[in-house]
Structure 1
Amino acid sequence: MKDAKIDLIICPPQVSAAYTHSDAVKLPSTVSYTGLYNMLDYAAGVVPITKVTKEDVKQTEESYPDTDLWYKIVKENNKNSEGLPIGIQVVGIPSEENVLRVIREIEAGRKEMFP
């Protein structure tokens, strides 16, 4: 990131809304969104920006594939996900100040959009 002069990365923290506790252990690959930055000792934080809507649940039910076990677990968990938070992850080089500043700015903007 330093060589490329990239200060921060904004990316998803997870592939979907939260899973049930028992299903989370069946989907270990989903931690790759956050685990990579932890292993690299980068500063990172997750901030909610919206929530799962009834329309999100309906769209997933109608269009999300169920071609393998992984997809089936995600699709099944999504049935009860309305209202759960959807977040974004902010990642930076090992310096929390920039990450926290951007998260604070995102939270302030979100409050304007979703009072």
Structure 2
Amino acid sequence: MRQAVAVARTQRGMGLFGLLFLLVLIGAVVLVGLKVFPTVNEYLTIKRAVNKIAASKPANVEDVRRAFEATKAVEYSIVSIGAKDLAVTKSGDDLVIAFAYNVEIELIPPVYLLMKYRGQAQ
């Protein structure tokens, strides 16, 4: 007769709780990413618009504000700032256009994520 030999078995793979934890973690990251993406897209659109306005060498502050309002009328993704929120200063012969704004993103009530955006024409 054969004798049964006890072999130590090691567990491999992920357990049910580990899998559930991983799914919740991935879900939270996807949720935050989906909520943050539109604000990053808006920031990039604003930065592109400000750079385009600065490249056109506007003569004064009113020209900058008028050009930004015209761009905002075309780009519907710009909702966080207006032309009056642009900080226009003079550096030598050029106008420097800068902006800064905050966006609160509601993740799961009462949890909010505060995004602070700031940029300047190059």
Larger radius of gyration: 2
**Larger relative contact order, structure 1 or 2 (CA cutoff 8 Å, min sep 6):** 1
Q: Shared fold by TM > 0.5? A: no
